[in-house]
Amino acid sequence: MTMSDSTFPDDPCAGSDPCRQAVAELYTYVDGELDDVTRATITKHLDDCSPCLEAFEFHDELKTVVAQKCRASVPDELRARILAAITADPGDPAATPG
Amino acid sequence: MADQATFVADTEPYMASLFSTALRLSTNRADAEDLVQETYLRAYRSYGTFREGTNLRAWLFRILTNANINRHRSRSRRPQEAELDEGDDFSLFHRMRDRNELGRSAEDELMDHFSEAEVVQAVESLPEAYRMAVLLADVEGFAYKEIAEILDVPIGTVMSRLHRGRKRLERELYEFAVARGLTPVADTAGG
């Protein structure tokens, strides 16, 4: 049986219930999807458990890395083309004029 | 009827977001530009059906998603919710930690470990359904519920696509990093 990467086999807290519970909610935590009570419970655990804190901070930062490096700015030519297309478009075909 | 000036004023602030997403979906600029233009025209024509007070940005992304699907009718609309594969359990964090690549200030350094080209290539390597979930969550910051509405799938599907997409992304990034000897790159400026 292989050890899953998503547990913390090398950490002193390995196998403890609070760590497992925290790691199970890693994505929902960094995505801001948890209810206040669960979030507070995990935040408290992270205050006490540096291996878990390190993992959570890593994933939070990875989100930032992806976000920053995937953004693109709109070419001026495209913006102008879209505005021109809208101006030339008759608009909502179902709408009654005027 | 949608007033042109109102429509443009309301929707133009989201053009950069839509274009960024379109670019990572299409992987080339010409297709991405066409997709964004089509999204705006569709949105303009159906702006009368948009209810004020609801989420305009999510509405636009839903139109973009549907326009993208229409452009690729040959692809199945809903991807197979694939079995877990070996990549779904990958942990970039553990690999980097075990190689002592995470220094005292890991948060600041992670940005320097991967170039913009590497992150973009890793994202673009993801199956489209996973890629879209990752883009909407990580780049656009949509809530799971909003992503579910944009993609017209249950929240549980959003979560599993995000999980798998992120794990595969981590594996891709790790492979890039290993290929160049796990040394940080120097393009934090984003070039």
Same domain, B127 and B162: yes
Kindly give the parts of chain B with pLDDT less than 70. Answer: 1-2, 73-88, 100-108, 182-191
Q: How many CB atoms lie within 10 A of CB B155?
A: 14
Same domain, B160 and B121: yes
Average pLDDT of span A6-29 = 74
Residue B107 has its nearest CB partner, among A33, A61, A81, at A61
How many separate domains does chain A show? 1
- pLDDT digit string, tens, across residues B118-133: 999 999 999 999 999 9
Within 8 A of A85 by CB-CB distance, chain B residues are: 37, 40-41
For the whole prediction, is pTM greater than 0.95?
no
Same domain, B58 and B103: no
Q: Can you point out the beta strands (E) in chain B?
A: none
Same domain, B107 and B154: yes
Any idea what the CATH number is for the domain that residue B14 is in?
1.10.1740.10
Within 8 A of A70 by CB-CB distance, chain B residues are: 20, 24, 119-120, 123, 135, 138-139
Rg (CA), chain B: 18
Any idea what the CATH number is for the domain that residue A60 is in?
1.10.10
How far CA B52 is from CA of B10, B11, B47, B49, B56, in Å, comes to 11, 13, 10, 9, 8
Same domain, B96 and B163: yes
Q: Is A70 on the interface with B (CB under 8 A)?
A: yes
Same domain, B95 and B37: no
A7 found inside a domain: no
**Residue-number span of the structural domain to which B159 is assigned:** 86-179
Q: Cβ of A92 and B1 within 8 Å?
A: yes
Q: Cβ of B162 and A75 within 8 Å?
A: no
Same domain, B36 and B64: yes
Substitution target from A63, A74, A76 for chain B, most B beta carbons within 10 A: A74
A4 found inside a domain: no
Q: Which of B128, B134, B119 is nearest to B172 (CA)?
A: B119
How far CA A29 is from CA of A55, B36, B123, in Å, comes to 12, 32, 22
Same domain, B13 and B94: no
**Residue-number span of the structural domain to which A79 is assigned:** 17-88
ipTM above 0.85, yes or no: no
B53 found inside a domain: yes
Closest CA–CA distance from residue A68 to any residue of chain B (Å): 7
How far CA B144 is from CA of A16, A79, A97, B25, B177, in Å, comes to 29, 30, 38, 19, 30
Residue B120 has its nearest CB partner, among A10, A67, A69, at A69
- pLDDT digit string, tens, across residues B23-49: 999 978 999 999 999 999 999 999 989
